[in-house]
Structure 1
Amino acid sequence: MVIAAFALAQLARDAGKAIEAPLWVHWGGPPTARMLRHSDDTFDPSVKSSIHKQLVKLAVCECMPSAAEETADPEGAEATYRFCSDWLRRKALQLKGVSPFDVVHQENVSYGYHRNVLGIKTTGIAIALCSIVSIAAAFAFNRFPVIELLLALAIAGYLAFAITERRLKSCADSYSHRLLSAVDAIPVSGSGNRRSRAVK
């Protein structure tokens, strides 16, 4: 039973990871990297400048792209933003349980859950509908599995209306916002995996 549960969880995670990259393309890039761009208005420019300065202070990169450099070399700037966002995600996991990263971790769990369930949404709805048909057929034999029918209907409705791309994007944006807002809480050790950047 434990092995089956683990296998199902792994299948859901694999399905979730499979839809992640295409969704990021649809959303304009990975949420955390996107929010680091000067062209993104999630954060006030002064707040974003503070985040950029803290990333340099943490020795994540030698310097962050200016707005002009981002316009001149969007690919180079994007590479820096993605490197920083990957570093931040790893650091947040190391600081899990430490305020404010406990909240960041909760947002990450919420995102992972919605991503994985969205990945298996079609399969889940198909299984729920098959269950509904099978349960409904039982009524023809004077059996009345009402609780099972209501449960199958609830699962189908939940997957159809509560698990959506829009909801997942909201979870992703909440996680990224929390993560970047917590940058100032990361202790400065002076030994980050510094990335140098050359603007073309």
Structure 2
Amino acid sequence: MESILAFVDEYTLKARFLPACIAGLPLMALIASYFNWNEFLVANIVVGFLVGLIVIYLFSLFARSLGRRVESKILKEWGGFPTTQFLRHSDSTLSLVKKEKIHGLLAQKSEISLPSLAQENIDPDQADQKYNEAVTWLRNNTRGDEYKILLNENIAYGFFRNSLGLKWLAIILCILILIILFILFKVHYPYETYELNLIIEFSKTVKLALWLTLGLSIFMPFYWIFVITKKSMRSNAETYAKTLLDLSYNV
């Protein structure tokens, strides 16, 4: 694992490649179904690995760009990153005592003058710029192994953000694969009627990999619809924000 991380960092693997792997599973299963795994085993493994790697890489590129695009739209709905929101005097997520303490620590350690309640009310945009500067300073000073917990929360947020970017692409892919499987069924079905016993008899001749592809193509849309949501992204963003702001005590 360490040799892999020497070329690809942990964030890229878990926040970009993992969503890409999940999105590409049905397609990789469909491709794998066309290999004869009983012959030329080494060649099949090499070709299958290369094809899978290309699919994952292409999906990871989409994950990054689409994830950022989704993030920019969602941030407008949220009114900014939770880190910025939690620092605002007008936000009640953090207790007043804790917020004042964090403001004081950030102002003292970063030498960035954070706005008062009156200043925030007069110019909210200017106040947000100051909060963003303080958050950027805090992020830059919480890197390294001693802040592993923050990296883990950032990876979790990045995973849901990039997954949300891939969401509809992945669902459309599942639908297309189901259509392909239906066409294959129609083309290769040897009987003239569709009696249940004939369908069962035909199903026994279908490759296991095609059944796996069918199962993934049916199951995965439920994962993308009910697990990968704006709510889950928001939850992880808030967890990251709270973890980051708590580290202002330790920087």
TM-score (norm. length: structure 1): 0.83
Report runs of 4+ in structure 1 exceeding 4 Å deviation: none
How many correspondences in the alignment?
181
- In structure 2, give the amino acid aligned to 1:19: V
1:117 has 2:163 as partner? yes
Structure 2: gaps of 5 or more residues: 1-49, 190-201
Residue aligned with 2:89, SS: coil
Of Structure 1 and Structure 2, the greater helix share is in 2
Quote the Cα distance in structure 2 between the aligned partners of 1:4 and 1:156. 19
Task: Give aligned-pair identity as a percent.
Answer: 29
Aligned ranges for residues 160-199 of structure 1 at < 5 Å?
160-186=225-251
Kindly indicate whether the alpha-carbon contact (under 8 Å) linking 2:84 and 2:131 is maintained by their aligned counterparts in 1.
yes
Equivalent in the alignment of 1:14: 65
Structure 1: gaps of 5 or more residues: 187-200
Choose which of 137, 149, 153 in structure 1 pairs with 2:218: 153
Kindly indicate whether the alpha-carbon contact (under 8 Å) linking 1:24 and 1:31 is maintained by their aligned counterparts in 2.
no
Equivalent in the alignment of 2:151: 105
> What is the CA distance between 1:60 and its match in structure 2?
4.3
1:127 has 2:173 as partner? yes
1:26 has 2:72 as partner? no
Equivalent in the alignment of 1:190: none
TM-score (norm. length: structure 2): 0.67
Equivalent in the alignment of 1:48: 99
Quote the Cα distance in structure 2 between the aligned partners of 1:90 and 1:118. 26
Quote the Cα distance in structure 2 between the aligned partners of 1:67 and 1:179. 22
Query: Structure 1 stretch 147-156 or stretch 108-117: which is displaced more?
Result: 147-156
Bigger Rg over Cα: 2
> What is the CA distance between 1:90 and its match in structure 2?
2.7
> What is the CA distance between 1:160 and its match in structure 2?
1.4
1:64 has 2:110 as partner? no
Kindly indicate whether the alpha-carbon contact (under 8 Å) linking 2:110 and 2:134 is maintained by their aligned counterparts in 1.
no
> What is the CA distance between 1:133 and its match in structure 2?
2.4
